Amino acid sequence: MSVDEQPVDAAAAGSPDPGWVTVCRRAEIPSGRGWPVRVGELRIAVFEVDGRVVAVENVCSHVGNPIDDGQVRRGCVVCPWHGWRYDLRTGEHLTLFGRRPGLRTFPARVTDGDVQVGFAVD
């Protein structure tokens, strides 16, 4: 199963850029899987897809289990618990009947090897 969720202190891990929080190192993201982190009360999974880093909420829409340990195939993650499939670029739940609302997505970037996730600043 997944590694333990890594809590991130948003105040301590913040970047000089308001709204961006450093959550892990790019090298920590396992190939074909996600890296779980927690920022405050938010559970996030960070994935690498086609050379880009993406961040989605780490809570499957089906019953709320974490998805970070799901396999990544063709830009999608398959929930390891019940097989629900999500497009990691959009967060959409992919079904036989089409695309449906799914996971919340967050902007993500890599700066000097650090993965940063963006949050709205009030």
Other Cβ atoms within 10 Å of 20 Cβ, number: 20
Mean pLDDT of all residues in 27-49: 95
- The pLDDT value given to residue 96: 87
Distance of CA 17 to the CA centre of its chain: 20
Q: What share of the chain is helix, strand, coil (3-state, %, to 5)?
A: 5, 45, 50
What type of residue sits at position 43? R
- Express each pLDDT in 68-91 by its tens digit: 999 999 999 999 999 999 999 999
- The pLDDT value given to residue 1: 40
Phi–psi pair at 26, nearest 5 degrees: -55, -35
pLDDT at residue 13 is higher than 60: no
- The pLDDT value given to residue 115: 97
- The pLDDT value given to residue 74: 93
Sheet holding 108-111, edge to edge: 20-25, 114-118, 108-111
> In angstroms, what CA-CA distances link 108 with 18, 57, 69, 82, 96?
14, 12, 19, 27, 29
pLDDT at residue 120 is higher than 90: no
Distance of CA 94 to the CA centre of its chain: 17
For the chain, list the domains and their CATH numbers: 6-118 (2.102.10.10)
- Spatial CA neighbour of 118 closest among 64, 54, 68, 67: 54
- The pLDDT value given to residue 9: 55
